[in-house]
Amino acid sequence: MKCEDCGVEMNHHADKIDYNAGLDDPDRADPVYGGVLEEAHTCPACGRTEVRAAAES
Amino acid sequence: MSTERALFIPVILGTPRQGRMSEHAARFVLAELGKREGVETELIDVRELPLSARDEGGAIKDEGFSRSVSRADALVIVTPEYNHGYPGMLKHALDTNLKEYVHKAVGVCGVSAGGFGGTRVIENLLPVLRELGLVTVFWDLNFSSVGKAFDQTTGALLDESYVKRADKFLGELVWMAKTLRHGRENVSI
């Protein structure tokens, strides 16, 4: 995943379950975790953080 | 370690109550934080956040608050203790963000009229902060008998011992903020 500001490869440093997103859209919810599993990526150059659904990786 | 960019550590004032003494504590911490080299800060007052009371969570996200937390490397939360708990407005505000908090440091300042310095509200707040994805430091800043710690009219600090206490608290928070920034930017899961 590239940083939109720098074009630098971002660092995938966390996975987090978003339970509310799973309630809003049950089809996106992970059947094991009960919510939408999201990845957090941060740019080592500028610190920008992006989150995307784990399924998108 | 990439610490060239200044750390951004906003201070969240967690109560909208009229006559709040926590504002004196928050402004004191804000000033102490602002004295630190390589640290930028700002006050986030929950009273000023335009949050609806007709819904909860990300649906009522305030873009300004979200942007500040996204930019932040750490947070300071200044909270009074109301009936052993945290103000509803603080929880209401914190719940509007989620991804913005992940792997960021947080330190809590408890404020109370009595002698316990908000220890009970801090204990109650810790599991909330953990679930949000924040990483708590093991130093707190406890403002006991807050009516005596600050001039109630001007907000001036009356008890100078808080300068030393704040220094320890903020030192630990800055260390954690630097460490977690390094982790976010360089250490993969």
| Full DSSP string of B16-36 | --TT-SHHHHHHHHHHHHHTS
Give the residue numbers spanning the domain of A33.
11-56
Q: What is the pLDDT of residue A23?
A: 87
The amino acid at B61? K
What's the mean pLDDT in B111-116? 96
What's the mean pLDDT in B156-166? 98
> Please, are residues B11 and B45 in contact by the beta-carbon 8 Å criterion?
no
Q: Within an 8 Å CB–CB cutoff, is residue A8 touching chain B?
A: no
Distance CA B103, CA A16 (A): 10
- Whether residue B4 is predicted with pLDDT greater than 90 in this model: the reply is no
* Mean pLDDT, chain B, whole residue set: 96
User: Is there a contact between B99 and A49 if contact means CB atoms under 8 Å apart?
Assistant: yes
Instruction: Reduce the DSSP state of residue A31 to 3 states and report it.
Output: coil
Q: What is the pLDDT of residue B22?
A: 98
> What residues of A are in contact with residue B99 (Cβ under 8 Å)?
16, 18, 38, 40, 49, 51
Comparing B2-11, B116-125, B170-179, the range with the smallest average pLDDT is: B2-11
> Please, are residues B119 and B80 in contact by the beta-carbon 8 Å criterion?
no
Q: Report chain A's terminal Cα–Cα distance, integer Å.
A: 9
Comparing A18-27, B51-60, B77-86, B164-173, the range with the smallest average pLDDT is: A18-27
Give residue A55's pLDDT band: very low, low, confident or very high (50, 70, 90): low
What's the mean pLDDT in B41-62? 96
What's the mean pLDDT in B145-150? 96
Is A37 within the bounds of a domain? yes
What's the mean pLDDT in B52-65? 96
* Mean pLDDT, chain A, whole residue set: 91
Is A47 within the bounds of a domain? yes
Is A5 within the bounds of a domain? no
The pair of three-digit structure tokens given for residue A13, joined into one six-digit string: 């440093």
User: Is there a contact between B187 and A15 if contact means CB atoms under 8 Å apart?
Assistant: no
> Please, are residues B175 and B107 in contact by the beta-carbon 8 Å criterion?
no
Is A1 within the bounds of a domain? no
Is A2 within the bounds of a domain? no
- Whether residue B53 is predicted with pLDDT greater than 90 in this model: the reply is yes
Which has more pLDDT, B37 or A22?
B37
Nearest Cβ partner for A12 among B58, B71, B189: B189
Q: What is the pLDDT of residue B178?
A: 98
Give residue B29's pLDDT band: very low, low, confident or very high (50, 70, 90): very high
- Whether residue A36 is predicted with pLDDT greater than 50 in this model: the reply is yes
> Please, are residues B144 and B115 in contact by the beta-carbon 8 Å criterion?
yes
Is A25 within the bounds of a domain? yes
Distance CA B73, CA B10 (A): 9
Q: What is the pLDDT of residue A56?
A: 57
What's the mean pLDDT in B63-73? 97
Concatenating the DSSP letter of every residue in chain B gives ----SPEE--EEE----TT-SHHHHHHHHHHHHHTSTTEE--EEEGGGS---SSS-GGGG--HHHHHHHHH-SEEEEEEE-BTTB--HHHHHHHTT-SGGGTTEEEEEEEE-SSTTTTHHHHHHHHHHHHHHTEEE-S--EEE-SHHHHB-TTT--B--THHHHHHHHHHHHHHHHHHHHHHHHHH---
Q: Within an 8 Å CB–CB cutoff, is residue B18 touching chain A?
A: no
What's the mean pLDDT in B101-117? 97
How many structural domains is chain A composed of? Answer: 1
Q: Within an 8 Å CB–CB cutoff, is residue B64 touching chain A?
A: no
The pTM is what?
Answer: 0.94
Q: Within an 8 Å CB–CB cutoff, is residue B155 touching chain A?
A: no
Short-list B76, B97, B102, CA closest to B174: B76
What's the mean pLDDT in A8-13? 97
The pair of three-digit structure tokens given for residue B74, joined into one six-digit string: 């750490």
- Name the minimum distance, in Å, from the CA of A29 to any CA of chain B: 16
> What residues of B are in contact with residue A43 (Cβ under 8 Å)?
185
Is A17 within the bounds of a domain? yes
- Name the minimum distance, in Å, from the CA of B110 to any CA of chain A: 28
**Distances, alpha carbon B135 to alpha carbons B76, B80, B127, B173, in Å:** 12, 21, 10, 10
> What residues of B are in contact with residue A42 (Cβ under 8 Å)?
103, 184-185
Token pair 């399924």 is at which residue? Answer: A55
Q: Within an 8 Å CB–CB cutoff, is residue B67 touching chain A?
A: no
The pair of three-digit structure tokens given for residue B157, joined into one six-digit string: 């600090």
Q: Tell me the longest C-alpha to C-alpha distance in chain B.
A: 50
Q: What is the pLDDT of residue B2?
A: 45
